[in-house]
Amino acid sequence: MHYQLERNYGCRVSDSWTYRGLRAAVLENELLRIVILLDKGADIYQFVHKPSDVDFMWRDPHGVRDPKSYVSTTGDNVGVWMDYYEGGWQTVFPGGGFPSSYKGADMGLHGEANIVPWDAVIVEDTPEQVAIKCWVRTARTPYYFEKTLTLKTGSPILELDQTLTNEGEETGYCVWGEHIALGPPFLSPDCVIDLPGGTLINHGEQHHPNATLKLGSETPWPFTEDQQGNRVDVSKISPKDARRYDMSYIADMPEGWYAVTNSKLGVGFGVRWPKDVYKFLWYWQCFGGGYGYPFWGRTYNIGLEPFSSWTNQGIADATSNGTVMVLEPGEKVSSNVKAIAYEGSERVSRITEDGEVLRQ
């Protein structure tokens, strides 16, 4: 974009940036600044609310690494993904969750689209609205994916219009999710999660020594039990010294939205998604309890991740439990996802289809 007209007002977009060797794009308006790592999955690395100077995205302590200059030291199908995981927001397909095999293809952790470079082009650039389209074709599976990220002037909403296409000539199975991780300084025990209800399902196996919630428990959101029988409200964010590391899922949600509000900072982050595409919300709870590889007790974050399927054990598990996404040859599946920054300390009663945040 050598001849792009540059502005310092209204909406702005540029794909002429690099960060630690990776191509990056920046979208911003009066309220938001969004940084996208084009050379690494088109990940959303920063989601900054300008008035409060709050970046909602979690930063993994490993930081951003360039796959061209940092070579993974093993071929381990978890380690390769983790070597390049920087936190933030990944688009996950076709094998979300832990490694498994799919029709002879080895699917690594959250593989395969978010550790490769994506193409991108600016499709709209006016003071009133900017948009950038990003796209990728997977190597081990026959999928084409594109997403267009849009900001409008004066709006606190980042809008993502996305389409997944099966370019194969046979029926394809897929797990598609939005791997969104939130962290400090936004995330703290001053935060509370609101969502429209549903069934809270704890992971069914002791996946980590510091997993504390009752295995396989199914209860109405937001209450569950720990393994000692104590009642736990998982809508309230635990402190880091809780040293727990749990995984839960929310099913049967009447609508697809959530909101995380920090009452002390007076700011929040919300997401609205189509429930017919993302039928489950994965809830990763890392409150200082991620001992051993890869976090070594250093991390404090949550992941609130709309997904087509469950559990997080990969595409083989989603296939066996009947929640895998099925695409016939040439079939397309589209979604519109809105991510919203909002101000205020009150709890949220609803996020509308237009992204409006309503208070209790």
Per-residue tokens: 176 = 């598609």
Q: For residue 287, what is the enclosing H or E element?
A: strand 280-287
User: How high is the pLDDT of residue 76?
Assistant: 82
Q: pLDDT per residue over 292-316, tens digit each?
A: 999 999 999 999 999 999 999 999 9
CB 359 within 8 A of CB 352: no
Q: How many angstroms separate the CA atoms of 268 and 262, rounded?
A: 6
pLDDT at 266: 98
When pLDDT is cut at 50, 70 and 90, the band that residue 4 belongs to is confident
pTM of the model: 0.97
C-alpha separations of 233 from 237, 287, 301, 350 in Å? 9, 14, 17, 19
Output DSSP code: residue 32. Answer: E
The model's pLDDT over 166-214, given as tens digits with 9 standing for 90+, comes to 999 999 999 999 999 999 999 999 999 999 999 999 999 999 999 999 9
Q: Provide the pLDDT for residue 251.
A: 98
Question: How many angstroms separate the CA atoms of 42 and 147, rounded?
Answer: 9
pLDDT at 228: 97
Binned at pLDDT 50, 70 and 90, residue 77 comes out as: confident
Residue 151 has pLDDT above 70, yes or no: yes
Distance in angstroms (rounded) separating the CA atoms of residues 108 and 96: 9
- Quick one: pLDDT at residue 108? 86
- pLDDT above 90: residue 258: yes
Peptide bond into 294 cis (omega under 30): yes
Asked if the model's pLDDT at residue 78 lies above 80, the reply is yes
Average pLDDT of 5-33? 96
Question: What would the mean pLDDT of 20-43 be, rounded to a whole number?
Answer: 97
Check whether 2 has a pLDDT greater than 90: no
* Top-confidence residue, 344 or 3: 344
pLDDT at 230 over 70: yes
Supply φ then ψ for residue 308, to 5 degrees.
-70, -25
Q: Please state, in angstroms and rounded to a whole number, the distance separating the CA atoms of residues 281 and 187.
A: 19
User: Can you read off the two tokens belonging to residue 13?
Assistant: 């977009």
Higher-pLDDT residue of 74, 295: 295
Query: Does the pLDDT at position 285 exceed 90?
Result: yes
Q: What is the DSSP string of 195-261?
A: ----EEEE-SS--STT--BPTT-EEETTEEEBTTS-EEETTBPPPGGG-EEEEEEEES-SSSEEEEE
Looking at every residue in the chain, the average pLDDT score rounds to 96
pLDDT in tens, 332-359: 999 999 999 999 999 999 999 999 999 9
The domains of the chain are located at: 12-359
12-359 CATH fold = Beta-galactosidase; Chain A, domain 5 (2.70.98)
What is residue 333's predicted lDDT score, i.e. its pLDDT? 98
Percent with pLDDT over 90 in the chain = 88
pLDDT of 239 strictly over 80? yes
What pLDDT was estimated at residue 81? Answer: 87
Answer for the pair 168, 183: CB distance below 8 angstroms, yes or no: no
Q: Which backbone phi and psi does 259 adopt, to 5 degrees?
A: -140, 135
pLDDT at 242 over 80: yes
Question: In the numeric block, which tokens belong to residue 271?
Answer: 């997401």
Q: Which residue is associated with the tokens 């996950």?
A: 92
Give me the pLDDT at residue 1, please: 60
